[in-house]
């Protein structure tokens, strides 16, 4: 998945509170052809996408590509909750708060099987979301 994110709001007319941290914590990796890129961590990517879902996506579960991206990462990355635990406190708290809000929304949980690539994986995704949104995310 490739997502280009400008940190300067004037480029696209909007920004995201997590772009700066995403860039600052990105790791440089070398591709097979020798080209080096900076790869944003999965937790930072999820944080940027969740914020975008709430802002430009207006919380619309069925048509949000940002929420779709989050759910694809959650589904395809079983280690995400451990990676999130190693992220900054602010990022962890923000992700936990947004996901907690999704999980208590019956519209979200009812729509979830239709939001994941394979409806049979909805239970796995739901379990992983619960692990990412601990009730007492304080430190």
User: For 47-90, what is each residue's pLDDT tens digit?
Assistant: 999 999 999 888 899 999 999 999 999 999 999 999 999 999 99
Write the pLDDT tens digit of every residue in 22-36. 999 999 999 999 999
Is 3 in contact with 39 (CB distance < 8 Å)? Answer: no
Closest CA to 49 of 82, 12, 77, 74: 74
CA distance 37 to 28: 6
**Triad 89, 94, 98: Cα angle to 5°:** 150
Residue span of the structural domain in which 114 resides: 41-132
Inside any domain, residue 11: no
Does 46 map to a domain? Answer: yes
Answer whether 30's CB lies under 8 Å from 55's CB: no
What pLDDT sits at residue 94?
A: 96
Residue 138 within any structural domain of the chain? no
How does residue 1 score in pLDDT terms, banded at 50, 70 and 90?
A: low
Examine residue 137 and state whether it is found in any structural domain, yes or no. no
The stretch 113-129 carries a mean pLDDT of 96
Alpha helices in 2-121 (DSSP H): 9-12, 19-24, 42-55, 65-76, 80-85, 89-103, 106-115
Position 28 in a domain: no
* Encoded tokens for 111: 């729509």
Name the one residue in this structure whose structure tokens are 């709430």: 54
Is 25 among the domain residues?
Answer: no
Question: How many domains does the structure of the chain reveal?
Answer: 1
According to the model, what pLDDT value does residue 58 have?
86
pTM of the predicted structure, to 2 decimals: 0.87
């Amino acid at each position: 998945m490739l997502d280009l994110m400008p940190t300067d709001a004037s480029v696209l007319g909007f920004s995201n509170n997590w772009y700066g941290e995403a860039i600052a914590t990105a790791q440089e990796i070398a591709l097979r052809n020798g080209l080096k890129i900076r790869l944003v961590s999965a937790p930072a990517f999820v944080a940027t996408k969740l914020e975008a879902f709430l802002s430009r996506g207006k919380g619309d579960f069925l048509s949000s590509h940002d929420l779709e991206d989050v759910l694809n990462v959650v589904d395809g990355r079983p280690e995400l909750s451990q990676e999130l635990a190693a992220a900054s406190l602010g990022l962890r708290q923000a992700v936990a708060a947004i996901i907690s809000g999704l999980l208590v929304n019956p519209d979200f949980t009812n729509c979830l099987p239709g939001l994941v690539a394979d409806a049979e994986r909805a239970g796995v995704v739901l379990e992983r979301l619960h692990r990412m949104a601990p009730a007492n995310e304080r430190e």
